[in-house]
Structure formats: C-alpha cells, structure tokens
Structure 1
Amino acid sequence: MSLTVGAAGAAFVWLATPHSREIHSAWDLVAKLIAFACLCFAIAVFPRTSPRLSWLLYVPFVFFTGYLIPRISWFYYGDGARAQGDSFYTHLYLLLYPGIVLTVAAAYRIGGGTPGRCLKVMATGVVIVFSGFLDIMWQVVNPVAIPDVIDAPHINLFTGGPISFGATIVFALAHVPIIVGINLLPLDRWIGRLLGADPAR
C-alpha cells in the first residue's frame, strides 16, 4: 500500500509541482516529503533475507545510468552554453540524492536490516541533506570565496531568510542531536507492537 501511495505521490510531484530550486509553498515540500516517506516505509517493511531478491538492486543502476546521470551530464556537456539551474537542481537533489538514499536502504533491508534500522538510515540521509552541511561544504570544497550569507531555500524556510555563514554552521550542528536522537529511537520495538509481528521479518 505504501509503495503504491509513494509511487503515485512521486508521479504527482514530478508532473504537478514546479521543478525549481525555490520552495514556492509549504505544501510543495510536504508533498515531496510524504511521497518519499511512503517509499521509505515500503522499503523498510519489504521482505528480506532472500537471495532471489538481490536482483532488485540492479534496477536503480539501470535508472541512474539509463536516465538520471546522462540527463544531469547534459546540463554540463551537452548544453553548457545555456544555464538550466532549476532542471539541474531537480535532477540532482530531487532524484539522484533520494535515489541514493533509497538504494542504500533497500540494499541494507535485503541484506538483513530490520525495518526500524532501515528507517533510521533513510531518515539520517534526509536530515543530513537538509541540515545545511551540503551548503557549507559547497563553499569549502569549491574554489569560491566564503560568502557573507547563505541563501538556501530549505534553510530559509526555518530562519525566515538568508543567514550568515557562521549561523549556517550553527544550524548544521543543531542537527547532530537530531540525528543521534533518531538513531537511538526503538523503532523496531514500536513497529513490532504496531504490526504485532517480529520486526526483523
């Protein structure tokens, strides 16, 4: 059920919401997160420990190499004279990064990971990308001057507008206790109680 809802939600996000770096309205972000959460839950409760299911892990490779990476590469190699910031951002952060998170979690689940720990892997991946860590490291690893302010839509949503580079570091560090807290949650116990079953199944 969650896989169906997640797939339908992903289709809705792709077809009916703006492909843009900016967050035009809160419901845009909510729709994306709900669709992603449903896909996360579907992977977390997916049947595991069957060698016959390992072939499913090849599917993301086909998607990445058959569409996503060639499409992202086009924005640099094929159409470098025309900036396509929104399309590049959409394919990189709305498809590639979530795809990596879901693929890692699926591999962990099929390899024997419990539903709760799968959810922790995926939630941690989401918190890291929204924490501001990427925005800080973009300035550090690239040959650019450190800016006075960081203007990132996912940070602006909480702060009300651009914040200083130092404040962005504080913003990112504030997510460390959140990540620790997520990974300390007894999710498998809660899932077991909710489903009335062995959480490892």
Structure 2
Amino acid sequence: MIPRKPLGFLIFAALAVAAAAFVWFGLPHDREVKSLGIFLLKLLPFVFAAEALARLDVEWAKRIRLVLWLVPIMFLVYFLYFVPKIFYFGGVVNGSREAYYGLYYHVLTVTPLIIISLVLAYRLGGGTPAVVRRLAYGMLLLMLSGLEDLAFLTVNDHTDPQWATIPAVWDWASHMTVFIGHPPTKYEAYAFIAVHVLLALAVFFSPQRWWDGLRARSMARFGKPAGVGSESV
C-alpha cells in the first residue's frame, strides 16, 4: 500500500517517465517543430516532472533517503547516455579531430558544474552538509570512474573498426593512465571502473554515524561544539 502523501508525486513521476519515453522513442528526432501539437506534446515530460516535484513530500523523501538515489541516477542518465551521444555525433560523425577535442574538453569541464549545481539546489532547499558532501564526492567519483568511456563504446552504433568492439588497450583514457602508470588494458579499465563505482556507493550509502563523526571532529578542530544528534537526509 503506497502512503497517501507521496502518491501524487509518484503518479506524476510515472507520467513524466512515460511521456519522456514516448517522446524519445515514439517521435522522430526532428530539429524543426512541425506543429503546435507536437511542440506541446514534447513539453509534457517537463510539465509532469515539475508537477511531481511540486507534490513531493519532503519528510517522506528524507525517510527513504530519496536524494541519495534520485540525484545520482539523474546525473548518470546525463553522463552515461547523453554525453557519449554528444561525443559521437559531435565529434566522430560530424567533426574533425580538433573539433572533437574541443567538444570533449568543454563537455567534461561543464560536468562538474552540473554536479555542483545539483548539490547547490539541494543545499539551498535545506539539505544537510553531510549529504551535500555525499552527493558531490560520490558523483565526482562516478565522473572519474571511466563509466562514460565504456558508455561511449556501448551506447553508440560505431562503424569505425577501431571502436566497433571494446579495444584491448584504452590508450585514450589518460585519467586512468596517470593512476596506473601505463595505458590500461580492457580488464584493468573494468577494474578501475568497478573500484570507483564501489567507492561512490560507499560514499552514498555508508552509515550516517561515520559522517556525524567526521562532522564532530571537524567542528572540534575549529573550536566549535559538535552538537547533539545526527543530521537527517
């Protein structure tokens, strides 16, 4: 039995997901708007999502720690689907190597800004310092994990033989090379990704008392009282 308070949120969230799926998979990906009806239809996922958020019961969301699930999932939808598609269509299909490098640099520079923007919105909405740190550092670990590199190879329809299968050596993954000391093999890259994902999950879902202890030590170091009780999500 679904509690009454979150029912409105869940209904509109489901409508938003269904509408988004219909728009993405059921309608042509046209650059031009063909009619007012199609234009309004494509706005429905946003409207349903906004109404869902307006109906979200904050206390219920805190009890089930919704922020630690939903914000990282939404970030991963952007980072593991849309970013690889941007790189593929903007660089591999239509761009020169120089254009690809410029696109790559700009997208991966704006990604930490997106993380901070999500965390800022949470904090301004009354979010706790502990969860701010969980979200920020957990999503940063996901960004640095190499998941996007793997997604680039798997979500796109590559015709170039170099990318049609997962390469044995990931010589482009310099963020892995600087840690490992050499360009990682495919299986070293998988291990690198797995370690970062596990660390991110530990950040998101480790016991609250660990973060309370960190906060208490930090406040004691600066001469402030640690306070009583723990912060809720």
TM-score of the superposed pair, with normalisation by structure 2: 0.47
Is 2:167 the partner of 1:147?
yes
1:83 matched to 2:98 = yes
Which structure has the bigger radius of gyration? 2
Aligned to 1:97: 111
- 1:31-58: CA deviation from partner (whole Å, max 9, x where unpaired): xxxxxxxxxxxxxxxxxxxxxxxxxxxx
**Residue type of the alignment partner of 1:89:** Y
Cα distance between partner residues in 2 of 1:181 and 1:76: 35
Q: Distance in 2 between matches of 1:133 and 1:181?
A: 17
> Does 2:121 correspond to 1:121?
no
- State percent identity of aligned pairs: 29
Alignment of 1:165-176 (within 5 A): 165-176=186-197
Report SS of the residue matched to 2:150. helix
Amino acid at match of 1:147: P
Aligned to 1:191: 215
Q: Does the CA-based 8 Å contact 1:114-1:188 persist in structure 2?
A: no
- Larger relative contact order, structure 1 or 2 (CA cutoff 8 Å, min sep 6): 1
- C-alpha distance in 2, partners of 1:157/1:107? 33
- Quick check: 1:136–1:165 contact (8 Å CA) kept in 2? no
2:99 partner letter: Q
Q: Which moved more, 1:124-133 or 1:160-169?
A: 160-169
Measure, in 1, the Cα distance between the counterparts of 2:191 and 2:130: 29
- Correspondence for 1:132 among 133, 146, 154: 146
Deviation at 1:169, TM superposition (A): 1.4
Deviation of residue 110 (structure 1)? 1.4
Partners of 1:80 and 1:131 in 2: how far apart? 26
Give the Cα separation in 2 of the matches to 1:176 and 1:98: 17
Change (3 A) 1:82 1:123: closer
Cα distance change, pair 193–158 in 1 and its aligned pair in 2 (3 A)? closer
Letter in 2 for 1:194: S
Q: Using the alignment, how far apart are the partners of 1:148 and 1:98 within structure 2?
A: 29
CA RMSD of aligned residues (A): 3.0
Give the residue type in structure 1 aligned to 2:179.
F
Q: How many residues align?
A: 126
For 2:222, the equivalent position in structure 1 comes to none
SS of 2:123's equivalent in the other structure is helix
What is aligned with 1:161? 182
